[in-house]
Amino acid sequence: MSIALRTLDDGAWISVNDSRQVSVSDVWTLTTGTFCDCSPAYVLLEAFVDVDVDGSIVVAHAVGQCLECGTRDSIERLPVGRIVNDDFYPYDPEDVQWLVEPDGERP
Amino acid sequence: MPTDVEHWKDELYGTEIRAEIERFAGEGWESIPDDERDAWFERFKWFGLYHQRAGQESYFMLRIGPPSGVLEPGQFRRLVELADEFSRGPAENPEFGNGWLDVTTRQAIQLHWIRLEDVPELFDRLEEVGLSTVQACGDSWRNIVGCPVAGKDKHEHVDAGALATELNETFKQNEAHSNLPRKWKVSVTGCDEGCGQGDINDLSFEPAEKELDGEMVTGYNVRVGGGLSRNEPRFARDIDVFATPEQAVDVAGGLSALFRDHGDRENRYNARMKFLVDEWGPEKIRETLQAEYVDFDLETAGDDLRESYSYNAGDADGKHDHVGVHEQVDGNFYVGLNVLVGRIGVDDAYEIADAAEEYASGEVRLTQRQNIILTDVPDENLDALLEETVFEEYSPDPHPFQRGSIACTGTEFCSLSIVETKNRQVRYARWLKENVDLPDGVEDFHIHLSGCTASCAQPQIADVSLRGMKTRKNGDPVEALDIGLGGGLGENPQFASWVAERVPADEVPGAIANLLENFAAARDGTESFREFVLERDDEELADLIEPEETDYDDPYLHNTKRTWYPYAEDDDLEASPAPARADGTPIPSDD
């Protein structure tokens, strides 16, 4: 079965198979150097711009702001969850995250 | 590559959606196929139906857009009856109870907790009294805003109400203009106070006059490409066009068609008219309009009235809103009533409808400052009207902190918002009224709270602009606000400067109190707040904002978006009663 992935409502959501799964306005914890120099960086996601799947990992292109240093920037390939047997399992924003490299595996 | 939304619109959009809404309503919410929900919810918007956020599945917001906010006699009462009957949720709001109407900054009414199964009856009962939800949301002509007292206003130069009505009749349910790349917001101003707020619209008609064939003609100058959203605010740009009232509909149709044909359908974030104007410039917009979309010679711009614009202007002489008792051109009066954050509970709304019918014509008009106006009050009825107890709360003479407060929907229902807004703004206004003195001579002070960068509360054009954010406090994420200063419209509009970021929401009232104290101490004579801000750089202004905790208590500091309803006793998403059937019984999950 193919997975339907899209952003919705002006980037408020990532929809997976027509179900609103990941919301903006959560604070995501990113490892040092992936977004800014803060360690770790607590980044508020303000909008999803695009979404894609890399292997089994759903990755988002988003816009966010660091709550400590104020850096506002785009985030490429933020992993927001996994597809397992056609079901989506969202990651917890509070868990420290890495960004997915273009070739699809963790650094 | 066109977006999914464009594909869905290509397949079915516009007036055909209604039959599908009625089919789904007849069969129940569960009849919408699981793998078609995104498409249908996007299409439903065209008929003013917006699916509420996560945790509230199967419930909808319904928006009704009367052009220029004019509700004819009987229409306001019908809206109250529908709110009373259909707009009640599974939990109460501690400030507003259950059952209310929201007046929006685009002169519309929003009802929440609407069930799909009730929508056909709602459509029928709205249409019985001449109201409609058509194109209240979605990618097309939105509710046309304009002077809410058009036809009755002593400040009127051209009848904006007539043009707004003609535009509404021409372009609503008009197949050639029903599928645009994005929303299309139009404003028509006819007065010398600028209350149509044209500068923040995609298309703006503003009063002007021009000598044509030796005769002075009253009409409109045309501006395009304004808007506040997405950290990309723009004021509408002058395309050097004057249109007579007779030409204005053709000019509007030409510009709408130009946007339809040339707007970006591959990237919704770049689709609004403001970005096309950025890319082309006003000259190319005018040239293309002339060459391809109108069949008469466009006149160059006439003399405008912007010098006297006072609405939402911060420091200009003249009225900044419509609140208060004002004489009409026919000798009757209109009474502008303050509606704090735009929300009216149904019990109060019935009393307002009763008063409008007993003492006036029964007509109610909505303003872009989320307030309402009762028109056509004869002089001899004024005192009796104003003695009604309901107008103690919905006052024509409110405290400036209440008069100046605007708030968007916020996380209570909205998918995009980052923070709770309406209840918080009510609590801010109450605390400020009790604890802060405004400096001498300051009678208007606007504080707009928007939950996110979509800017539905128009934060960039307020004295104090508040925008939803988050921060960390004592190690935990809490709701926070960016603070901007010195925005306003008028002859030379100015967006607020964002001078303080990520202020914890419970420290914002203290910050405003300190800011006003510092302003009072440092201002030059009777300098207005907007002038005071313009004289200083951002760093200097940031020093005047000293956020601090006070005895203000904020019950919504936690992540309200992670609740199914921020005010429910058990607000956890897992405790949500949604989705629910028409009778409110929860629909069991498949899991």
Q: Which residues of B touch A (CB under 8 A)?
A: 4, 34-38, 42, 53-54, 230, 268-269, 411, 415-418, 452-454, 468-472, 477, 501-502, 559, 561-562
Q: Which two tokens stand for residue B324?
A: 């208060």
How large a percentage of chain B has pLDDT more than 90?
A: 94
Name the maximum alpha-carbon separation found in chain A: 43
How far is residue B113's CA from residue B567's CA, in Å, rounded to a whole number?
15
Output the pLDDT for position B316. 67
Domain ranges of chain B: 4-128, 150-308, 324-398, 403-558
User: Is the preceding omega at residue B207 within 30 degrees of 0, hence cis?
Assistant: no
User: Which run of H or E residues covers position B438?
Assistant: none
Instruction: Assess A65–B contact: CB distance below 8 Å, yes or no.
Output: yes
How far is residue B466's CA from residue B393's CA, in Å, rounded to a whole number?
24
Q: Which residues 21-60 on chain A approach chain B with CB closer than 8 angstroms? A: 23-27, 42, 44, 46-47, 49
Q: Which residue of B has its CA nearest to A11?
A: B416
Q: What letter represents residue B311's amino acid?
A: Y
Chain Cα centroid distance, residue B77 = 21
Chain Cα centroid distance, residue A40 = 16
Of A4-8, B203-207, B298-302, the one with minimum mean pLDDT is A4-8
How far is residue B55's CA from residue B53's CA, in Å, rounded to a whole number?
6
Output the pLDDT for position A103. 52
What is the distance in angstroms between the Cα of B469 and the nearest Cα belonging to chain A?
A: 8
DSSP string, A23-92: ETTPEEEE-TTSSSSSSSEEEEEEEEEEEEEETTEEEEEEEEEETTT--EEEEEEEEEEEEETTEEEEPP
- For the CA atoms of A24, A28, A31, A36, the dihedral, rounded to the nearest 10 degrees, stands at 60
Question: Cβ-count burial of B380 within 10 angstroms (0-12 exposed, 13-18 middle, 19+ buried)?
Answer: exposed
Which residues in chain A are contacts of B468 at CB distance < 8 A?
Answer: 25
CA distances from B490 to A58, B193, B199, B301, B361 (A): 47, 8, 9, 19, 32
pLDDT in tens, B244-280: 999 999 999 999 999 999 999 999 989 999 999 999 9
Could you say which of B4, B54, B471 has the minimum Cβ distance to residue A67?
Answer: B471
- Is the pLDDT score of A95 beyond 90? no
The CATH code belonging to domain B403-558 is: 3.30.413.10
Q: Which residue of B has its CA nearest to A87?
A: B591
Output the pLDDT for position A50. 93
For residue B90, the SS3 value is coil
- Interface test mutation site (partner B, options A3, A7, A18, A19, max chain B beta carbons within 10 A): A18
Which residues in chain B are contacts of A42 at CB distance < 8 A?
Answer: 472, 477
Mean pLDDT estimate for chain B: 96
- Is the pLDDT score of B591 beyond 50? no
Q: Which residue of B has its CA nearest to A63?
A: B230
The CATH code belonging to domain B324-398 is: 3.30.70.3340
pLDDT in tens, B523-578: 999 899 999 999 999 999 999 999 999 999 999 998 898 899 999 999 999 999 99
User: How many C-beta neighbours within 10 Å does residue B494 have?
Assistant: 18
Q: Which residue of B has its CA nearest to A67?
A: B471
How far is residue B528's CA from residue B297's CA, in Å, rounded to a whole number?
44
The CATH code belonging to domain B4-128 is: 3.90.480.20
Q: What is the average pLDDT across B475-500?
A: 95
Which residues in chain B are contacts of A12 at CB distance < 8 A?
Answer: 53, 415-416
ipTM above 0.85, yes or no: yes
Q: Which residue of B has its CA nearest to A47?
A: B416
Q: What are phi and psi of B19, to 5 degrees?
A: -60, -35
Confidence of residue B519 (pLDDT cuts 50, 70, 90): very high
pLDDT in tens, B188-214: 999 999 999 999 999 999 999 999 999
How far is residue B44's CA from residue B115's CA, in Å, rounded to a whole number?
13
- Is the pLDDT score of A106 beyond 70? no
Q: At the topology level of CATH, where does B150-308 sit?
A: Sulfite Reductase Hemoprotein; domain 1 (3.30.413)
How far is residue B321's CA from residue B134's CA, in Å, rounded to a whole number?
28
Judge if B150-308 and B403-558 fold alike in CATH terms: yes
- Is the pLDDT score of B1 beyond 90? no
- Interface test mutation site (partner A, options B3, B473, B476, B502, max chain A beta carbons within 10 A): B502
Q: What is the average pLDDT across B416-445?
A: 96
DSSP string, B151-174: TT-TTBSS-HHHHHHHHHHHHTT-
Confidence of residue A3 (pLDDT cuts 50, 70, 90): confident
Best CA proximity match to B138, nearest among B53, B204, B57, B50: B50
Confidence of residue B588 (pLDDT cuts 50, 70, 90): confident
Q: Do A42 and B54 touch (CB under 8 A)?
A: no
Which residues in chain B are contacts of A70 at CB distance < 8 A?
Answer: 501-502
Which residues in chain B are contacts of A46 at CB distance < 8 A?
Answer: 418, 452-453
What is the distance in angstroms between the Cα of B560 and the nearest Cα belonging to chain A?
A: 10
Could you say which of B35, B415, B454 has the minimum Cβ distance to residue A4?
Answer: B35
- Interface test mutation site (partner B, options A10, A63, A72, A74, max chain B beta carbons within 10 A): A10
Chain Cα centroid distance, residue B241 = 27
Q: Do A19 and B34 touch (CB under 8 A)?
A: yes
Output the pLDDT for position A105. 43
* Helix segments in B207-244, DSSP class H: none
Output the pLDDT for position A1. 56
